[in-house]
Structure 1
């Protein structure tokens, strides 16, 4: 375990937040796609009845992704703030440690050692909080990744239902299935980048 965190942790957490913001925007587009698909399925009539049910699941997936992304984003912002606080404490501790060493034989060295000890204790406390938040962030990213994997199932089901809707509507409904699959792949890539960055944050403590 390293004694102090790096100021790069602030940047890493900020990048995670940015990646999840992009994922959230894509999820919003999935929701719009579901709305368009629902309207198309209604025009297709009874032949696309199964597809209309699938659009509800697509909408639920998009909504869940947006909500989870918002939570993850807040976690990433919290981690950035903690990393900033740790960086400031580290620099102050360095200055106080150097000052204490230079006057270690002086009568009033305790005036430096007492606040130094307080800062070191605060640093340890914030560091523990930092890695608790990193663990929670990692769990949320893993959960979101599992949710997004269901999109491939929904896409496959959509193609099956599209084939039964009649030639007039099949191509349009297949476009919906393709859009859901493509959006899910993009979101998954943002999640993968975020999880890799999260591992980097966790490596700082091990």
Structure 2
């Protein structure tokens, strides 16, 4: 990590958490959509039996997205906390380095150099932990992205089943399919932003 980049890393990690909070809210809406769809499918009767089964999968997807988003949010908070710790260490190292240089030939220079060495060792340890957490965060985002891709399949299946439900209910069930597709697209956008920010965090290592 280059000197004093961790302050911006703190902000970056906080933005990732904010993006995933938005994705979580959208996932909650998907769950509400599934509940409404289930009620509509029940009114449609036997013709929408297949659609009722799909709503269970939509519910599962929404629940999984919420849970994964919560995990990612906590991981982003951990990354943010580590970035804050690094920023403080870097400032302390900078201060002690200047002090050591000012009295490099002085009698008590070791009283500065010893804690400076300890701080640098601790900085290296925290830096390694920081990048391990960033890697885990990136993996979780990739996993969530794969999960959300199944929404396009569910949306397509929903349209097929809606066409079997009868004209009275077909339009309403198609709206459900559209809502699921639109929500998934918005979640993917938040994930893309978050993954891009993770790449920025990882790039600070070089």
Does TM, normalized by the shorter one, top 0.5? Answer: yes
> 1:135 & 1:126 partners in 2: Cα distance?
14
Query: Paired residue for 1:118?
Result: 118
Number of residue-to-residue matches in the alignment: 206
1:101 aligns with 2:104: no
4+ long deviations beyond 3 Å: 1-6
How far is the alpha carbon of 1:3 from its aligned partner? Answer: 5.7
1:173 aligns with 2:179: no
Summarize deviations over 1:50-79 as a string: whole Å, max 9, x none: 000000000000000000000000010001
> 2:64 & 2:19 partners in 1: Cα distance?
17
How far is the alpha carbon of 1:164 from its aligned partner? Answer: 0.2
Summarize deviations over 1:107-147 as a string: whole Å, max 9, x none: 11111111111111110000000000000000000000000
Summarize deviations over 1:160-186 as a string: whole Å, max 9, x none: 000000111101100000000000000
How far is the alpha carbon of 1:4 from its aligned partner? Answer: 5.7
Query: Paired residue for 2:22?
Result: 22
How far is the alpha carbon of 1:6 from its aligned partner? Answer: 3.2
Query: Paired residue for 2:51?
Result: 51
* Unmatched tracts of structure 2, length 5 or more: none
> 1:124 & 1:6 partners in 2: Cα distance?
13
> 1:117 & 1:48 partners in 2: Cα distance?
70
CA RMSD across the alignment: 0.9
> 1:29 & 1:108 partners in 2: Cα distance?
64
Q: Greater CA deviation, 5-14 or 45-54?
A: 5-14
- Whether the 8 Å contact between 2:4 and 2:91 is mirrored in structure 1 is no
* Unmatched tracts of structure 1, length 5 or more: none
> 1:76 & 1:121 partners in 2: Cα distance?
24
Query: Secondary structure of 2:62's partner?
Result: helix
> 1:119 & 1:30 partners in 2: Cα distance?
48
Query: Paired residue for 1:128?
Result: 128
1:82 aligns with 2:78: no
> 1:125 & 1:6 partners in 2: Cα distance?
14
